[in-house]
Amino acid sequence: MIFIAIIIGCIIGALIGINIPTIPYTYSGYLAIAIIAALDSVFGGITSTLKRNFDMKIFISGFFVNAILAIALTYLGEKLNVDIYLAAVIVFVGRMFNNLGTIRRYYVEKLTSKKIIAKAEATIKQANEEK
């Protein structure tokens, strides 16, 4: 159910994105930061799902608030003549890598444990047959 929702959402989103007019180049910097923040939230959500402590409210609020905060900080940095968006990029991308690492580890461990279990079961079966 959730997978279908994700796929349909992606397709509709792509269609909308292709059909809306292009954003002025001046604002595309803000949008890029917002996208990175949102992606970070998405990976965070996946990680928390795997850890079984996924909370819908936290995910949605993180998704929007992080994006808006990133845009606001970038704007502030522009006003202060400091490239704050670099800090935002570093933080979000760093977290994304962390989350990706967690996801990878989860699946690798799952795979290995499956193999071990299979091996153990095989051994047990063999022992039973020998008896």
Partner 1 sequence: MKKEKIVMSVTIAAVCILLVAVMSAQFRTVEETDITGIETAREEELRTMIASWKTKYEETSQKLEETNQKINEYKQKETSNEEMTILLDKELLQTNMLVGKTDVTGEGIIITLTDNENVEIEDRDLLNLINELKLAGAEAISINDKRIVNMTDIVVVNDTILINEERVTSPYTVKVIGNQKYLSSALSLKNSGYIDKYTSLGKTINMTLEKNIKILAYNSGNNLMEFKYAKEAEEQ
The site map against partner 1 for 96-125 (x = CB under 8 A) is: ------------------------------
Any idea what DSSP says for residue 20?
Answer: S
Cα–Cα distance for residue pair 86/97, rounded to 1 Å: 16
- Under rule CB under 8 A, residue 86 binds partner 1: no
Cα–Cα distance for residue pair 93/49, rounded to 1 Å: 20
User: In degrees rounded to 5, what are phi and psi of residue 116?
Assistant: -60, -40
The site map against partner 1 for 59-78 (x = CB under 8 A) is: -x--x---------------
First-to-last C-alpha distance (Å) of the chain:
47
Helix (H, G, I), strand (E, B), or coil: what is residue 131? coil
- Under rule CB under 8 A, residue 80 binds partner 1: no
The site map against partner 1 for 8-47 (x = CB under 8 A) is: xxx-xxx-xxx-x-xx-x--x--xx-xx--xx--x-----
Q: 15 or 111, CB closer to partner 1?
A: 15
Cα–Cα distance for residue pair 69/63, rounded to 1 Å: 10
Task: Find the shortest distance in angstroms from Cβ 21 to partner 1.
Answer: 9
Binding residues for partner 1, rule CB under 8 A, total 29
